[in-house]
Amino acid sequence: MKKIIVSAFEPFGGFNVNSSYLVLQQLKPRYGDTEVSLIVLPVLYKKAFDLLKTAIEKEKPDYIICMGQAGGREKVCIERIAVNINSAASADNEGTIKTDEIIIPYGPNAYFTNLPHKDMLGICGGDTVISYSAGTYICNDIFYRLMNFIENSDREIKGGFIHLPFTEHFDKMSYMKLEKQLKTVEAILTAAED
């Protein structure tokens, strides 16, 4: 039996919901022979990964899929690359703003996901795209820290990050319905099973 950890973020930026959290709430604890552990993370630099790392060490998963919200995007985005920098005008949920700060000193400039992103894209079809920018906010921070952890782990783990558009629960013009986002994420989990 395979194990997958799926994470989502709490609301941030003045919103009272987060697309990733709404999808996470609808996921099942098991898909076929794959056990799914769900975790909600705070929108806080480094602390989010500290909590994820604790879950990884406890659950010992085969796959880790982190999810976050990217308002303005129209499709589910499988992120391909994480960069070693935090630099965003937006504060985290404790008011911290980072500008041109290295995430891990002496770490590589970037990491690529080792998820089967092409298989995931093939299964999900037109509702999903590959993205080459996870931004430089907390989504990128946790993605980079995750891939650094995987690189230095003695276990074979696959991990990556998925950005989700707004759902219909936001008063925004561009959105994808929650039901469609859920089905897309479930298809991604199915690809991870294989």
Q: Exactly one of 66, 77, 124, 139 is catalytic; which is it?
A: 139
Compute the distance between CA of residue 98 and CA of residue 157 in angstroms, rounded to an integer: 29
How many of the other CB atoms lie within 10 Å of CB of 173?
Answer: 7
Catalytic, 77? Answer: no
Task: Confirm if 167 and 180 have CB atoms less than 8 A apart.
Answer: no
139 is an active site residue: yes
Sign of the Cα pseudo-torsion (32, 37, 38, 42, in order): negative
| Selected catalytic residue, list 66, 77, 79, 117 | 79
Active site residue 156: no
Within 88-177, where are the H helices?
117-124, 138-151
Of the candidates 72, 80, 65, which has an alpha carbon nearest to the alpha carbon of residue 187? 65
Q: Active site residue: 163, 168, 179, 193, which one?
A: 163
Dist CA 7 CA 143 (whole Å): 11
Please identify every residue annotated as catalytic: 79, 139, 163
